[in-house]
Amino acid sequence: MMQSIYGYTLDMLKEYMISLGEKPFRSSQIIEWLYRQKVRSFDEMTNISKAFIERLKADFDLDLLECVTKQESADGTKKFLFRLKDGNLIETVLMNNEYGYSACVTTEVGCNMGCVFCASGMKKKLRNLETHEIVLQVLTASLLTNINISHVVVMGIGEPFDNYDNVIRFIKILNEPKGLEIGARHITVSTCGLVPKIYEYSEFPLQVNLAISLHAPTNEIRNQIMPINKSYPIEILMKAIKDYIDRTNRRVTIEYILLQGINDTVYAANELANLLFGLNVYVNLIPYNEVKEKPYKRSKKEDMVKFFDILKKRKINVQLRREQGSDIDAACGQLRSKHIS
């Protein structure tokens, strides 16, 4: 059966070449055509023999994702709704930053984590995305906009560590020097706290970044908004984070969405400072993109600033993230939810 070539790492293509009696270096040539030249036909690969091109055509396709709709914000944020071959819909976002464009990719059709404030979990997980379906989000968005994507965050719909093997292969394809060549330190994977996978991820040889969707400093608060905490409470999660930092000597990003009256109090700020003091972490305070189906509200500006100031005074490395895409369906999963029943 024909497969997408975009799910193949360089090593997998080498194995394919060897199995057919071809020279292994052909795999590097193909990778360059796919990701450097971004060809849309095998026939454009002029340094590959015509006979072998016919074999490639028989075994692989070069299909992109179908773009159902695209939204663009005044700040340059671009949000895509893509249709997969089985008809399922996923979201991808391009964000315009000072250092260039970053792509936020989806890893699952739906999400089972059930974070109560999140639009992604309003539709339960149907399946994992295959590697090529994650790769194609980056490639299709780049081709549709003629934008060179320099950074990737794995923070879209789904829990990346619940689709671990495909996400790891995706990272290897992104990082391939002869391909997209996105540096490991320009790739960030976010998890809501699947502790066993954090330990496994600490053994991954590439220096890819880790972000933890924490969103609460105590079990009492986190149990209310994130069901994963009942399986892996904060003390167990923090032990895994400390182990990761010790093993990798890398800083961990702590993501913290500010919800009015839930986790944005002076008490919560001080508890968060107590929890994180002395650790090599960076706190990203995130204004909440409200979801009309959810009762949660964005923190007031003065409460966000007060929360930030407390962390800063307590010597916690922190930033209050600027809003992006607030004039479109900014919350992860919102656009998809509009198009499915």
Give the 3-state DSSP-derived string for the chain, with helices as H, strands as E and coil as C. Answer: CCEEHHHCCHHHHHHHHHHCCCCCCHHHHHHHHHHHCCCCCHHHCCCCCHHHHHHHHHHEECCCCEEEEEEECCCCCEEEEEECCCCCEEEEEEEEECCEEEEECCCEECCCCCCCCCCHHHCCCCEECCHHHHHHHHHHHHHHHCCCEEEEEECCCCCHHHHHHHHHHHHHHHHCCCCCCCCHHHEEEEECCCHHHHHHHCCCCCCCEEEEECCCCCHHHHHHHCCHHHHCCHHHHHHHHHHHHHHHCCCEEEEEEEECCCCCCHHHHHHHHHHHCCCCEEEEEEECCCCCCCCCCECCHHHHHHHHHHHHHCCCCEEECCCCCCCCCCCCCHHHHHHCC
> Annotated catalytic residue: which of 54, 91, 200, 203?
91
Domain regions of the chain by residue span: 3-61, 66-339
Is there a catalytic annotation at residue 67? no
Task: Give the pLDDT of residue 92.
Answer: 97
Residues of the chain with pLDDT under 50: 333, 336-337, 339-341
Task: Give the pLDDT of residue 323.
Answer: 64
Task: Give the pLDDT of residue 341.
Answer: 46
What residue has token string 């968060």? 272
> Annotated catalytic residue: which of 104, 118, 192, 332?
332
Task: Give the pLDDT of residue 125.
Answer: 94
Q: CA-CA distances (angstroms) from residue 290 to 115, 295, 331?
A: 14, 9, 7
- pLDDT digit string (tens) for 192-242? 999 999 999 999 999 999 999 999 999 999 999 999 999 999 999 999 999
Is there a catalytic annotation at residue 91? yes
- pLDDT digit string (tens) for 178-191? 999 999 999 999 99
Task: Give the pLDDT of residue 336.
Answer: 47
pTM of the entire predicted model: 0.94
Question: Is it true that 3-61 and 66-339 share their CATH fold?
Answer: no
Do the strands 78-83 and 66-72 form a parallel or antiparallel pair, or are they unpaired? antiparallel
Task: Give the pLDDT of residue 326.
Answer: 55
Q: Which CATH number fits domain 66-339: 3.40.50.720, 3.20.20.70, 3.40.50.11060, 3.10.110.10?
A: 3.20.20.70
Task: Give the pLDDT of residue 329.
Answer: 58
Task: Give the pLDDT of residue 334.
Answer: 52
Return the CATH architecture of domain 3-61: Orthogonal Bundle (1.10)
